Structure 1
Amino acid sequence: MKRRGRRNALHKSPCNLDYRKAQGRESRMVQSDLLECPMEPPTLRERRRDAILDAAEALFLEQGYERTSLAEIVKQSGGSLATLYDLFGNKQGLLHAIASRWGNEARCQPAECMAVADLSNVELLRGYAHRQCDRMQSPRAIALMRMLISESLRDRDFALQIYRDLHVPAIEELSALFAEWAAAGQAEIDDPQAAAKLLLSIVIGDSMLHTLAGLEDEWLDNDQLDWRLQPFLSHFKIV
């Protein structure tokens, strides 16, 4: 069943929650970062930050995280070592910032934000799952994941930071959306957080292992992913 005028679409890949009063009660609405992004041109500091991030990511992907020096990053970005330290602290801080930017890019889909009003909840979840799966299979994602996992194994504090900043927000966004659907009678979800974790496991669980191992013949296509999603949709009676 189609629903017009809805703005809490997961298809928009929301980045934060906006609590609004609706019909005398508080209603959670998940909004896209597109609605929050400032329209002003980037400041000089922001441009320098982006230049350093672009240079660092290019070098990390080209020659590896461990083999890339800060001096090389500064040379390619046209910045200074002092600015790099001021913005990121160290090379690990750069890797974290690259990972955060990657996550934010996936949550901000400007081209899709206007095409969500007519989608059902089932279509929203399927579209979300398809995009996340495709995202995990890109060469850029594979390289970044390998770097993040390698550094996480070396430094537990870094691993926890990546988990908090990349994985937890996705769980919170899905949990808020599932809670809203349950409150509106559009799903029977008794534990939104557990349901959010289950959905992410279905979508990226073994897909991440296949991606990291380079097992391209094991990657899921959309039909296979829909098959996996069907028990989830049926169990929680998502309409």
Structure 2
Amino acid sequence: MMMQDERVEKDPHDAAARPRLEARRRAFLDAAAQSFLEKGYAGTTLDDVIARSGGSRQTLYQLFGGKQGLFEALVTERVRAIFGDFEGDELDGRPPEDVLPPLGVRFLTTITCPAALGMYRLVFAESAAMKEVGEAFWRAGPQALRRLLTGYFAGQVKRGTLRLTRPDYAASAFAGMLIGNLHTECVLGLRETPGPEEIEERVKEIVRLFLDGAR
């Protein structure tokens, strides 16, 4: 068994080693998430991650190249997991009244869940020093959602259901209306995560206001 473990450590490209290496990658990321959220980037050491994961320093460097690479991989993966349910194909051809309310509810529920709030706090704290982290977060999360909305709004303009000169501006405006002060208050810990009824009521009013101005 020890010889197999050593072979996995030394050859990450070996086909037989990949499942075990992927399991170790998962363990590193889970351990890193706990450490970074508890201690922040500066306060977390690779020894912390290794102790929590049970892996080795050699494997960690093979997989991530070091602490910053581990952090960037964690941010990218977690943001994609948080925002990954937003797909454009399911929106095509459907009227705004059917699309925007459930999309808005899902978006607000997503960004105010504890996992997302923790990731927002972590990224905001570290992105000034590590621009790549902020860019990765933006591309995988908020920008992806705005791109989806921009494409949908552009399609609705062609169908004549919405009057928008800049679908991209409209996408940013709609997302901004949803976020409002609510998300900032949650990130800062000034209030509890909103419940389903509050989210649905908020989204209903925002969709009404948005569509009143877009028609």
TM, length-normalised to structure 2: 0.74
2:71 matched to 1:106? no
Among candidates 196, 199, 214, match of residue 221 of structure 1: 199
Deviation of 1:216 (Å): 1.5
Distance 1:139 1:193 in 2: 29
2:213 matched to 1:235? yes
Deviation of 1:150 (Å): 0.7
* Deviation per residue, 1:55-97 (Å, 9 max, x gap): 2112323444433211221232233323322332332332332
- Residues 59, 158 of structure 1: CA spacing in aligned structure 2 closer, same or farther, 3 A cutoff? closer
2:25 matched to 1:49? yes
Write the letter of the residue equivalent to 1:60.
F
Distance 1:93 1:105 in 2: 18
2:59 matched to 1:90? no
Residue in 2 aligned with 1:209?
184
* Deviation per residue, 1:173-207 (Å, 9 max, x gap): 22112212222333223211111111111122422
Write the letter of the residue equivalent to 2:36.
F
Distance 2:68 2:153 in 1: 35
2:117 matched to 1:142? yes
* Deviation per residue, 1:122-145 (Å, 9 max, x gap): 232111211221222222222221
Residue in 1 aligned with 2:10?
none
Among candidates 137, 140, 148, match of residue 162 of structure 1: 137
Distance 1:47 1:180 in 2: 42
What is the aligned residue count?
A: 194
Write the letter of the residue equivalent to 1:222.
E
- 8 Å CA contact retained: 1:136, 1:211: no
Structure 1 stretches lacking a partner, 5+ long: 1-41
Query: SS in structure 2 opposite 1:204?
Result: helix
* Deviation per residue, 1:9-55 (Å, 9 max, x gap): xxxxxxxxxxxxxxxxxxxxxxxxxxxxxxxxx84443332221112
| Greater Cα shift, 62-71 or 145-154 | 62-71
- Residues 177, 118 of structure 1: CA spacing in aligned structure 2 closer, same or farther, 3 A cutoff? closer
Write the letter of the residue equivalent to 2:29.
L
2:111 matched to 1:133? no
TM, length-normalised to structure 1: 0.67
Query: SS in structure 2 opposite 1:56?
Result: helix
Among candidates 166, 176, 180, match of residue 191 of structure 1: 166
- Residues 43, 180 of structure 1: CA spacing in aligned structure 2 closer, same or farther, 3 A cutoff? farther
Distance 2:152 2:118 in 1: 31
- 8 Å CA contact retained: 2:80, 2:140: no
Write the letter of the residue equivalent to 2:166.
D
- 8 Å CA contact retained: 2:28, 2:55: yes
- 8 Å CA contact retained: 1:52, 1:77: yes
Distance 1:131 1:143 in 2: 18
Residue in 2 aligned with 1:200?
175
Structure richer in helix, relative to its length: 2
* Deviation per residue, 1:207-234 (Å, 9 max, x gap): 2211122122695532123212212122
- Report which structure shows greater RCO (CA 8 Å, sep ≥6): 1
Residue in 2 aligned with 1:80?
56
Structure 2 stretches lacking a partner, 5+ long: 1-17
Distance 2:45 2:130 in 1: 19
Residue in 2 aligned with 1:9?
none
Query: SS in structure 2 opposite 1:221?
Result: helix
Distance 2:162 2:92 in 1: 18
Distance 2:92 2:176 in 1: 27
